[in-house]
C-alpha cells in the first residue's frame, strides 16, 4: 500500500484526536527513521522521549523474542520473575521503595495520587486530601492527571475537573508556604523539568524548600519523571540533580524501549498503607514489557548512558546558542541533558514542518518552543546534522 492509502484509511477509521503530518513511518534503525517511500529522518524527538536507546536495538529485540516465546501474560494474580527483578533493579538504583507497575505515564500518575491520598488519609483523615501542582505542568490525559495538569487548554470541554486540587506558580518558593497545609494537603506533584509547559527545569532552592515543607507538614512529594527520568537529563533520575528525594516517583516513557509500561516507586511509609485489592492493573507488570524494561535499564546503567546524555546535551545547547547569536528570534535555549527547549518569538509549527521536509523530526512544547528529545545515544555528528538542518531552516525563514 502507499502512504496516501494508509492516511486515507486512518482518516476514515481513527478517532480524530491527533493532527499528523503527511508521512507514514515504516521502520527505524539507530537514530534514524524511514518512511514508506524510503526517505530518511534524523529522529530528534525520540517518540516523545521514549526511544532513548534508538531504534531496532539488538538487546531490546532479543528481550522481546526471548520473553514472548516463554510467557506473554498471566495477570497480576500470579508471581513472575521479570517484574520482581525489574523492581529490584529500580529500587537498587533509586531509593528505598516499593514498586507498582502499570501501562502508561497517565496510569502511573493516577496510582501515585491514589497512594498518596491513601497515606494522607491514614495520618490526617479525609480532610487531608488536596493535591497541589504547578502552572504550566503536564501530567497526562486521564481525569486525575488532567485535573492536576495546570494548563486550562487541557480542561476545555471536560470540566468540572476533579475537586481537591490547587495550582501554584512554578519555581516560586514564596508561594509554597501558604498553600501547603498539614491539615489539608495530601500531596504535591511536580515535574523536575516541565515538559509540555516549555522545557523549564526546576530551581534547586525551590525544590529543596518544597521538600522541607513536605517533611514538616506530612505531605507526600511526588516527582513526575515520566519524561525526565531514566538518563534523559544527564542523571539516571532527574531528582539526583537536586540533592533531595521524592516520596513517590513516576516513570514510564523510555523504560519499555517502545513497549508500554508505567511505574510508581513509593517510599515504605506510603507503601505500608496499601493492601491487596486497593489498586490493580490487568496488564500491569506484563512479563514481556518488564523483561524488556530490565534489558533497557541494565543497558542504561552498564553503558553509563546518563553520562553520555549529559555530555551530548552540553554540546547541543552550546551549538544551539551559536544559532541564537545568528537568529535573534530565538529567545532562549534551556534544558537538562538531552531534554532541550528552544524558545522563539513566534509560533514554531512552521519550523517543525520545514525541518521534517529537510529530514529531521522534532517536536514542540507549547506554541513557541521547539522540543528536542533525541535518542540518548546520539554522537557529535548527529548533533551537527540536527543543528545544520535547523540553521538552514531558520535561514530560509529569514530570507
pLDDT tens per residue, range 256-288: 999 999 999 999 999 999 999 999 999 999 999
Q: Which of 95, 134, 138, 223 is catalytic?
A: 138
pLDDT the model gives residue 397 = 87
- Choose among 120, 62, 94: nearest CA to 291: 62
pLDDT band at 90 (very low <50, low <70, confident <90, very high): very high
Q: Is 223 a catalytic residue?
A: no
Q: Say whether pLDDT at 399 is over 80.
A: no
pLDDT tens per residue, range 299-349: 999 999 999 999 999 999 999 999 999 999 999 999 999 999 999 999 999
pLDDT band at 195 (very low <50, low <70, confident <90, very high): very high
% of the chain beyond a pLDDT of 70: 100
Average pLDDT over the chain, rounded to an integer: 98
Beta strands per DSSP E along 22-127: 25-29, 32-35, 40-43, 98-102
Place of cell 514564596: 174
Q: Which of 101, 223, 224, 237 is catalytic?
A: 224
Topology (CATH level 3) of domain 3-57+304-398: 3.90.1150
Where do the structural domains in the chain lie, given as residue ranges?
3-57+304-398, 71-302
Question: What is the pTM assigned to this prediction?
Answer: 0.98
Q: Is 159 a catalytic residue?
A: no
pLDDT tens per residue, range 108-161: 999 999 999 999 999 999 999 999 999 999 999 999 999 999 999 999 999 999
pLDDT the model gives residue 177 = 97
Q: Which of 253, 267, 299, 317 is catalytic?
A: 253
Q: Is 138 a catalytic residue?
A: yes
**Section 294-301 average pLDDT:** 98
pLDDT band at 94 (very low <50, low <70, confident <90, very high): very high
**Residue 387: CA count within 13 A, CB half-sphere:** 23
**Section 382-392 average pLDDT:** 98
> What radius of gyration, in Å, describes the C-alpha atoms of the chain?
21
Topology (CATH level 3) of domain 71-302: 3.40.640
Residues 361-368: contacts with CB under 8 Å, at least 24 apart: 361/33, 361/41, 361/42, 361/43, 361/44, 361/45, 362/44, 362/45, 362/390, 363/45, 363/48, 365/195, 365/196, 365/197, 365/198, 365/199, 365/341, 366/196, 366/197, 366/198, 368/198, 368/331, 368/343, 368/344
pLDDT the model gives residue 398 = 78
Beta strands per DSSP E along the chain: 25-29, 32-35, 40-43, 98-102, 130-134, 165-168, 185-190, 193-194, 200-201, 220-224, 248-251, 262-266, 330-336, 339-344, 360-361, 363-364, 369-372
**Section 57-83 average pLDDT:** 98
pLDDT tens per residue, range 116-125: 999 999 999 9
- State the chain's maximal CA–CA distance in angstroms: 64
Amino acid at each position: 500500500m502507499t502512504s496516501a492509502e494508509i492516511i486515507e484509511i486512518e482518516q476514515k477509521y481513527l478517532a480524530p484526536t491527533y493532527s499528523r503530518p503527511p508521512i507514514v513511518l515504516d521502520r527505524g534503525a539507530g537514530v534514524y527513521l524511514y518512511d514508506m517511500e524510503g526517505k530518511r529522518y534524523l529522529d530528534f524527538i525520540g517518540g516523545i522521549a521514549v526511544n532513548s536507546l534508538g531504534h531496532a536495538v539488538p538487546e531490546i529485540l532479543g528481550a522481546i523474542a526471548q520473553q514472548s516465546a516463554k510467557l506473554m501474560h498471566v495477570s497480576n494474580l500470579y508471581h513472575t520473575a521479570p517484574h520482581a527483578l525489574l523492581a529490584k533493579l529500580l529500587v537498587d538504583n533509586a531509593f528505598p521503595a516499593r514498586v507498582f507497575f502499570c501501562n502508561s505515564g497517565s496510569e502511573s500518575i493516577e496510582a501515585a495520587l491514589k497512594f498518596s491520598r491513601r497515606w494522607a488519609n491514614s495520618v490526617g483523615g479525609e480532610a487531608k486530601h488536596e493535591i497541589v501542582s504547578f502552572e504550566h505542568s503536564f501530567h497526562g490525559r486521564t481525569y486525575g492527571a488532567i485535573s492536576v495538569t495546570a494548563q486550562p487548554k487541557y480542561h476545555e470541554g471536560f470540566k468540572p475537573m476533579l475537586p481537591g486540587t490547587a495550582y501554584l506558580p512554578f519555581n516560586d518558593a514564596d508561594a509554597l508556604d501558604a498553600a501547603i497545609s498539614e491539615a489539608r494537603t495530601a500531596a504535591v506533584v511536580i515535574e523536575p523539568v516541565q515538559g509540555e509547559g516549555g522545557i523549564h527545569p526546576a530551581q534547586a532552592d525551590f525544590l529543596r524548600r518544597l521538600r522541607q515543607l513536605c517533611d514538616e507538614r506530612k505531605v507526600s512529594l511526588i516527582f513526575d519523571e515520566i519524561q525526565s527520568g531514566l538518563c534523559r537529563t544527564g542523571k539516571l533520575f532527574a531528582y539526583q540533580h537536586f540533592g533531595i528525594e521524592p516520596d513517590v516517583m513516576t516513570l514510564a516513557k523510555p523504560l519499555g524501549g517502545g513497549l508500554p509500561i508505567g511505574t510508581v516507586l513509593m517510599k515504605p511509609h506510603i507503601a505500608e498503607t496499601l493492601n491487596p485489592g486497593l489498586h490493580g492493573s490487568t496488564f500491569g507488570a506484563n512479563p514481556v514489557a518488564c523483561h524488556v524494561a530490565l534489558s533497557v535499564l541494565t543497558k542504561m546503567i552498564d553503558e553509563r548512558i546518563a553520562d553520555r546524555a549529559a555530555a551530548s546535551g552540553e554540546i547541543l545547547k552550546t551549538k544551539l546558542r551559536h544559532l541564537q547569536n545568528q537568529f535573534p528570534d530565538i529567545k532562549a535555549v534551556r534544558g537538562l541533558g538531552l531534554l532541550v527547549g528552544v524558545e522563539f518569538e513566534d509560533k514554531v509549527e512552521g519550523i517543525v514542518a520545514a525541518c521534517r521536509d529537510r529530514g529531521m523530526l522534532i517536536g514542540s512544547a507549547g506554541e513557541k518552543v521547539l522540543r528536542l528529545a533525541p535518542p540518548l545515544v546520539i554522537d557529535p555528528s548527529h548533533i551537527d546534522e540536527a543543528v545544520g538542518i535547523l540553521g538552514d531552516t531558520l535561514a530560509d525563514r529569514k530570507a
